[in-house]
Amino acid sequence: MTALLTIIIVLFVAVALWQMVKIFDLAQVGTTNTQIADDQDNKINAYLMMGFLVFIYVMTILCFWFIGDLPLMSNAASEHGQGIDNLMIISMVVIFIVQTITQFLLHYFAYKYRGEKGKKALFYADNNTLEFIWTVIPVIVLAGLIIYGLFTWNDIMNVDEDEDPMVIELYAQQFKWTARYSGNDNVLGKANVRLIDINRANVLGIDEDDPNAQDDVIVSELHLPVGQQVVFKMRSQDVLHSAYMPHFRAQMNCVPGMVTQFAFTPTVTTEEMRQNPDIIEKVKNINDLRKERVVEIEESGQELLYEFDYLLLCNKICGKSHYNMQMKIIVETQEEFDAWMKEQKTFPNSLN
């Protein structure tokens, strides 16, 4: 009923506007109605351009003032996270400077060289010096950003196998994540989607005869020891997914039919991150909003108060429940991780 009333109101408003336009047209009968802009029209548009320039700058300042705080940019929880943040900040500063200068020139020139009778703007058919300048400067800036980005990316993607990183598989399927630890031998058993056997609870298609699979551990909640480098091997069962762990500045596509890889070293435990002032403020704001919907939340069976956790999300639109495809990540001390791992079943013991 509400939707119907809304449609009716919109129709009435549209009819009213149409009638007002007709009245305005009738009121213009007998007056000069030319499509050619005169000096007054150009003057008005020139001042409007300067007014819009002021509007852009005011909105930019207000955005920085009210929503310019980016907590995520200061809460990297991996060794390479600071490098990613620096690259992002440098890129944003360069974009901001270029945008400020070019927008000023664009609007100012529209104002300064507005059409006036008897006035002719000075122009060059070509100017090699100017063209050289505005070609070389962007080339140098972009080349610097690209080279810096490549070095940053190479530092992240080059994994030193001598450090004996922990190997974990992330298995994506609509609409859930499953993690598989490589066990004591730190080698994942072979797997193939053709080996999936629901009756046996072999949901990842692991080769049951592979010796390396006998100590693998399959879980639905990811635990990571702080300070330990982790190499993630990623597979997808069905469609393209993207493993995204924002606080660790980590993202990699999960592609059906192939294995992709990403590695990082977590540096901040979950408990330490929960004590971060930015996170405390964020959690408080979220809980204040949730308290306003207390009845709705309790009826849905959810916990009323939100508590911060690292999350593994899907960052590719993979279907109708994409928004809810996530897994909790807990970063803890080595002792806590070892105690948790002892409680988990190995792959053979998890089969029916």
The answer to whether residue 187 scores a pLDDT higher than 80 is yes
Predicted TM-score (pTM) of the model is 0.76
The answer to whether residue 71 scores a pLDDT higher than 60 is no
Q: Select the highest-mean-pLDDT range: 182-186, 336-340, 348-352.
A: 336-340
Residue 70 pLDDT: 60
Q: In what order do the strands lie in the sheet with 230-236?
A: 217-219, 176-181, 166-173, 230-236, 260-264
Count of Cβ atoms closer than 10 Å to residue 27 Cβ: 9
Among the residue ranges 62-71, 77-86, 98-107, 212-221, the one predicted with the least confidence is 62-71
Distances in Å between the Cα of 69 and the Cα atoms of 65, 66, 75, 92, 212 are: 8, 8, 12, 14, 48
Count of Cβ atoms closer than 10 Å to residue 250 Cβ: 22
For 90-110, write each residue's pLDDT tens digit.
888 888 888 889 999 999 988
Q: Which amino acid is at 322?
A: H
Pairing of strands 222-225, 326-332: parallel
243, 254 contact by CB (below 8 A): yes
How far apart (Å, rounded) are the C-alpha atoms in residues 57 and 308?
A: 36
Q: Which amino acid is at 245?
A: M
Instruction: Compute, in degrees rounded to 10, the torsion defined by CA atoms 302, 303, 309, 314.
Output: 10
Which three-class secondary structure state does DSSP give residue 149?
helix
For 115-174, write each residue's pLDDT tens digit.
878 777 777 788 888 889 889 998 999 999 999 999 988 888 888 777 789 999 999 998
Distances in Å between the Cα of 306 and the Cα atoms of 109, 221, 289, 302, 328 are: 52, 18, 10, 10, 13
